[in-house]
Amino acid sequence: MFKLLSKESNIFSIPVYIGFLLLIVIVFNILNFNTNEAIIAGITFLGIALAYFCFHSIALNYQTHLPLFLYTFFIFGLYPGNLDIGIAVALLTNSFLLLLLTSTDEDTRKKSYVLVGSIVALNFIFLPTTWPMAVFVIIHVIATSPKVLLNVFRFILGVMLIAFSYFCIMFFVGFTSWNIDYFPFGKMKIITDYTELFPLIPIALMLIYAVYDHFQNYNKKSPISRYKYTFLLVFSLAQLVTIILYMNKSYEYLLLLAFPASIILSRMLKFLPKYWMQEVSVWLILISLVTFKAGTYFDLF
């Protein structure tokens, strides 16, 4: 299977995976179909489908099918069907952020910081627990921008535009009191029961090894590869903070890590020294995700 998935991919391969994704979303929502669920499913589909194009934007997949295939299986294994609208919007906004912030055109990134701020603010409105993403973007701007103060101002301006618009809309529709749900810092519930996550241990160990191997061979990477991989790791760290602090039993939060995990694992598999290691690792990832899906769907653990 690894040799099959290592064949060169192109932009025309993406509709096949998107079609399979659409089938997954329809199957999991057909039994509890209503207007609200249809809207959430539509946002989820758009966010995940857009992520397929992010693979070509971030250009760390060596143009193979492997990351696309792994991402599809991550969605299958982690998608519960009745997704919260906050997670659905977070998946969509994360895809837009990846497309904007991984652009190799400095002028494009510079002009997009207002839009990035607006996207982050919109993300917070729908899911306040994603506040680490705002911290990630600020760190990214400071670390990569030649005009830090100007671009931070652009980012804050984008945030303020959405915040002002939101408060105006809420005032005109009669919501004049502050909702305590928008203050997420008092609701941190770090998970203590890891039983249902046991099937994902092999994937977690592979991710740890992949990060270790990256830094072991850091000087062998090209500057662009190092920059984009570091971006991906910090992006993953922001998602991981949200997951650790707020996931508890809401395992759909793990979908936030599906995209970066697919790239990190696919790169690790590519550089494993033996073919049998690559093949075994691919099947171990698939079995882990299917087992986790069965465990949550049929309450096995």
Residue 298 has pLDDT above 80, yes or no: no
Q: Tell me the Cα Rg of the chain.
A: 20
Q: Which of 48-52, 92-96, 142-146 has the highest mean pLDDT?
A: 92-96
pLDDT at 4: 62
Tell me how far apart the 2 most distant CA atoms of the chain are, in Å. 64
Residue carrying the six token digits 């194009």: 53
Residue 276 has pLDDT above 70, yes or no: yes
Report the mean per-residue pLDDT for the chain. Answer: 83
For residue 272, the SS3 value is: coil
The structural domain count of the chain equals: 1
| Higher per-residue pLDDT: 38 or 86 | 86
Domain residues for 81? Answer: 2-297
pLDDT at 117: 93
* pLDDT tier at 32, thresholds 50, 70, 90: low
Q: Give pLDDT tens digits for 52-61.
A: 888 877 766 6
Amino acid at 149: L
For the full predicted model, state whether its pTM sits above 0.75: yes
Residue 157: partners with Cβ closer than 8 Å, 6 or more residues away: 114, 117
Q: Helices in 84-200 by DSSP H: which ranges?
A: 85-101, 106-111, 113-126, 131-144, 148-172
